[in-house]
Amino acid sequence: MVSDGVRFRLWAPRAGSVAVQFGDTVLPMRREVEGWFGLTTDRAGPGARYRYVVDGNAYPDPASRCQPEGVHGASEVVDPGAYLWTASEWRGRSWEEIVLYELHLGTFSETGDFAGAIRHLDHVRDLGATAVELMPIAEFPGTRGWGYDGTYLYAPSSRYGRPDDLKRLVEACHARGLAVFLDVVYNHFGPEGNYLPAIAPDFFTERHHTPWGAALDFDGPLSRPVRDFMIHNALYWLEEYGFDGLRLDAVHAIHDDSEPDILSELARAVRSQINDREIHLVLENDRNQARYLSRSAGRAGCFTAQWNDDLHHALHVLVTGEHVGFYADYAAEPARHLGRALAEGFAYQGEPSPFRGGRPRGEPSAALPATAFVSFLQNHDAATRHCMPALRSCCCRRKSRCCSWARNGVARDPSCSSAISSRVSQMRCARGDAGNSPNSRNSATRPPARTSPTRPWPRPSRSPSSTGPSRSGRRMRAGWHATACYWRSGNVRSFPGCAG
């Protein structure tokens, strides 16, 4: 929004022509420098629906603030200054006070949206949490999902409500003394509704590859707009929505050989532009790169902390004895790994990783304070690895295809079958003890479920379980067929299968 209307800009360096479309009206955009096209018009205002027309083809705005009709629908103009904030005195919470409650909006409340979450914030506060961490909310395809396949990184999912509904949720958290974090994904876009390859193929590069295909181009000759897209996104959530921190998902899948790399540049931009309140940046980083967690005068220079997978994995192996997949790295001496993680942060600080073919993993972290690490017993990844064997085969990491179980519900490899059977036998379904019976729905030897060309795994249950544990049993349980149950106040709620 500008004083004389709405300013539209699109980066399409290979396009011959670009226009903006409102219904039947198409307005040509002017070519600017470095692949940009721009137009300022008073023929649009808040609520207007629009698309960009690139060389004759119409697409939603990749930087849309709102996608009311989903990933394939028209974008909507949003006035970012229209919301009237009332909790302007909020200055955040110090990192030493943070106790995170990870929250999936779709399953947290009866209505599964921003407004519904507000009704249960007192419950979170009473548990002792001091901060809420929302799993990704960027617009994603379909009606249910984790959010890790988002395609419009600036648009809060229309499944959860309007942009102003999200601002009300943030404000309601602050009113209760709760800080609010957002899980953001900067390593890939979801496959459905991602029109960037058609609009700006230079957004991606074949020099690097990720589990999702071609990597985002953060270090090529045309990478400046790509880097700015992510940096501005981080600032957008922190400034426009008032979030207190971000969790950056799986940054080990971000490839960038430039200096400074995109992570460092993003963190420095946030630190330099927001200095009137507490802001926390947290990493998920399988590489254990301690360099990003360095301190200056006792304060984080770039990133505040990292989720400490080493601590979780070592403790898990110590308690369960599981040793497949990446747990093999901790199987020989789980107590030693746990002790080192508690004392020094990372258990792997450059030592060879058996799971990674003997490649060194990690950097020295003993000089870092304990506050540079988020210690946890459970998170969304851990919960689904152990509660959804049909989708998370225990012999493989997430999205791996070394075992056919993840594709059709049948473990054909003997080691896979044994490991899965062992895991399933340890689980208790929300319906009761049926999971221990070899002839039950929970059995790893169950005949393959019906599949479809577009859903090559068993379809998750859409209805809550009819029975469940007592009110005192408030813990995550799961059934055989990719349905985890969120237990709250005696009500079992269905959590759909993985989308991330």
Task: Please state whether beta strands 36-41 and 6-11 pair in parallel, antiparallel, or not at all (unpaired).
Answer: antiparallel
Q: Does the annotation count 249 as an active-site position?
A: yes
Q: Does the annotation count 206 as an active-site position?
A: no
Partners of 179 in beta bridges: 131
Partners of 38 in beta bridges: 9, 30
Tell me which of 76, 113, 284, 381 is the catalytic residue: 284
Tell me which of 113, 202, 219, 249 is the catalytic residue: 249
Place of tokens 């929970």: 442
Q: Which residues belong to the active site?
A: 249, 284
